[in-house]
Amino acid sequence: MDVLFPFCKKRMKDPESGKPPEPKPSGIGSGGDIVRYSAVGIEFAALVGLLVFGGYSLDQSIHPNGFPWFLFLGLVVGLGLGTWRLIFQVSRDQ
């Protein structure tokens, strides 16, 4: 049984006390998860905002009355990189 499910041994009993381990608090109780995921959200928003602002500035300097191609390019690249960073950070924590 230990060979097939080695992770079950940890959760079933504590070898010293013989009792099941206490569940770890998550979310509001610990505070660590809230700070970590808030930082990921702020990083996502800052990355998208920075690239959109850069695209807007580039559009205004190159052709002020034309279609905002660089703004949309910054938006797409920012959303793509932000999503990639978000997935990377969340999957690294688990």
Helices (H), the chain: 8-12, 32-62, 69-93
21 domain-assigned: no
31 domain-assigned: yes
1 domain-assigned: no
Q: What is the pLDDT of residue 8?
A: 52
User: Which tops the pLDDT comparison, 14 or 1?
Assistant: 14
4 domain-assigned: no
11 domain-assigned: no
22 domain-assigned: no
Whether the predicted pLDDT of 88 surpasses 80: yes
Q: Token pair of 70, please?
A: 């660089």
59 domain-assigned: yes
pLDDT in tens, 54-82: 999 999 999 889 899 999 999 999 999 99
User: Which tops the pLDDT comparison, 28 or 92?
Assistant: 92
Its domain, for residue 36, covers: 27-93
Beta carbons within 8 Å of 92's beta carbon, 6+ residues apart? none
User: Which tops the pLDDT comparison, 47 or 34?
Assistant: 47
Q: What is the pLDDT of residue 89?
A: 84
What is this structure's pTM? 0.63
Q: What is the pLDDT of residue 1?
A: 45
61 domain-assigned: yes
Q: How many domains, in total, are found in the chain?
A: 1
Q: Among residues 82, 88, 70, which one has the least CA distance to residue 46? A: 82
